[in-house]
Amino acid sequence: MVKADLQELTRSPTAVLGASGGIGQPLSLLLKACPLVDELALYDVVNTPGVTADLSHISSVAKISGYLPKDDGLKHALTGTDIVVIPAGIPRKPGMTRDDLFKINAGIVRDLVEGIAKHCPKAFVLIISNPVNSTVPIAAEVLKAAGVFDAKRLFGVTTLDVVRAETFTQKYTGQKNPAHTKIPVIGGHSGETIVPIFSKASPSFTIPDDKYDDLIKRVQFGGDEVVQAKDGAGSATLSMAYAGYRFAESVIKAAKGEKGIIEPTFIYLPGVVGGEEIAEATGVQFFSTPVELGPNGAEKAINILDGITDKESRLLEACKAGLQGNILKGVDFIKSPV
Ligand code: NAD
Ligand code: LMR
C-alpha cells in the first residue's frame, strides 16, 4: 500500500464550531473535500441543518453531521473529535478594532472551550475567533482550570498574515506561485502586533528601501482593507477559510506522521519545547512563531529572533507593548471575571 493510501485510512475526526458563518461555511467545504478528514461535525447556534444537508451531497470521504445547541448538540459535535477549529464569533465592521470584539467573543470562546475540556480534552484546538491575541489566552486558562491544558495542542491561527505576506511580496520574490516563498510572520494577530520577518524569508528576496514601510503596513493592516471593502458586511471570510484550512491540513498531516512541517502559529511559549527561550527574549508568554508540528501537535517552537534587522527589532518592540496588554486581558477574563 502506498503512503497516501495509509494516510487516508488513519482517522482524523474534525469539528468546526461556528460552522454556519462567513468563515465556517467555506472552511467546512474545504474540510469536507479533504481526503484526510474522515468525519466532520458542524456546530453553530443557527443553520447547521441546512449547511450540513448541503455539504453532505459532496462525494468525499468525510461523514458529516450537524448540531445546534439543543439536545446536547455541542457534546455530540465534540465527543470523539481530534481536531476542533473555532471560527465562532462576531466579525469587525469599519471603524472597529479586533479588541472591540472582545466583549462578545470572549464569552463565546470560553463557553466552547469549556465544552472541549469536557468532551474532547485531548483534541487539537485551532482558534480563529478574534481577538486572537486574547481568545487564545482565554482558551488556555479555561483548559488549565479544567486540568487538561496541553500547550502543544492549542493554536491561534495566524496563517492569514503569512498568506498575505506571501501575496503582497510576490512582485519582489518573483515566484510564479507566491506560496512558494516561506515568510515567517511572528508576534500576534492585530495591527502592530503582526511582525513580518522578511529578512528570514526563504528563498530570500530584496525589498527596495522605499517600499519596505508600505509593505509592512499592508501585511499588518490587511484585515482593514477587507473590512472597508465589505463596508459593514463583515471581515475576511474566504481568504481566512483558505488560511484556516491550510493550517488545519498541516496539523492533520503532522499528526499522521508527516515530517518537516513548520508553520507560524500563536502558542503558549512556556509549554512548548524551545518556547521558554522565546518567552525570555520577548517578555510575553503567548506569541506567534514558526512551530514544528508533529504527532503531538507543537513539537518545537523555533526562535528566529537572532540576526533580525534593526527595522525588524523596532517592529518587535512595538508589537510587545500591545500584545502583552491583549494577553493579560484574556487571562484576567477567566482568572478575575468582572
Ligand atoms: P460570522 O458572523 O459570519 O460567523 C460567525 C458564526 O459564529 C455565526 O454563524 C454565528 O452563528 C456563530 N456563533 C456565534 N456564537 C456562537 C456560539 N456560541 N457557538 C457556536 N457558534 C456561534 O463571522 P466570520 O466572518 O465567520 O468571523 C468569525 C470570527 O473569525 C470573527 O471573530 C472574526 O473576527 C474572526 N476572524 C479571524 C481571522 C484570523 O486571522 N484569525 C480572520 C478573519 C476573521
Ligand atoms: C483579518 O486579519 O482579516 C481578520 O483578523 C479579520 C479582521 O477583523 O480584520
* Residue 129 annotated in ligand binding: yes
pLDDT of residue 2: 42
Q: Which of 267, 292, 269 is nearest to 279 (CA)?
A: 269
Domain architecture of the chain: domains with CATH: 13-157 (3.40.50.720), 158-332 (3.90.110.10)
Rounded to the nearest angstrom, the distance between the alpha carbon of 188 and the centre of ligand 1 is: 18
* Residue 274 annotated in ligand binding: no
Assign 215 to helix, strand or coil.
helix
Given the residues 57, 119, 180, 189, the one annotated as active site: 189
pLDDT of residue 338: 65
ipTM: 0.99
Q: Which of 82, 4, 84 is nearest to 43 (CA)?
A: 84
| Strands annotated E in the chain | 14-17, 39-43, 63-67, 83-86, 124-127, 154-156, 185-187, 194-196, 261-268, 286-294, 297-301
Q: Is 119 a catalytic residue?
A: no
Q: How far is CA 165 from CA 25, 85, 293, in A?
A: 25, 23, 21
Taking a C-beta distance cutoff of 8 angstroms, is the pair 189, 132 a contact? yes
Phi and psi, residue 36, nearest 5°: -85, -15
Average pLDDT of the chain is 96
Residue with CA nearest ligand 1 atom 14? 89
- Alpha-carbon gap, residue 298 to 287, rounded angstroms: 13
pLDDT digits (tens, 9 = 90+) for 286-321: 999 999 999 999 999 999 999 999 999 999 999 998
Judged against a pLDDT cut of 50, whether residue 76 lies above it is answered with yes
* Residue 24 annotated in ligand binding: yes
Arithmetic mean of pLDDT, 181-194: 98
Phi and psi, residue 111, nearest 5°: -65, -40
Ligand 1 atom with least separation from CA of 92? 34
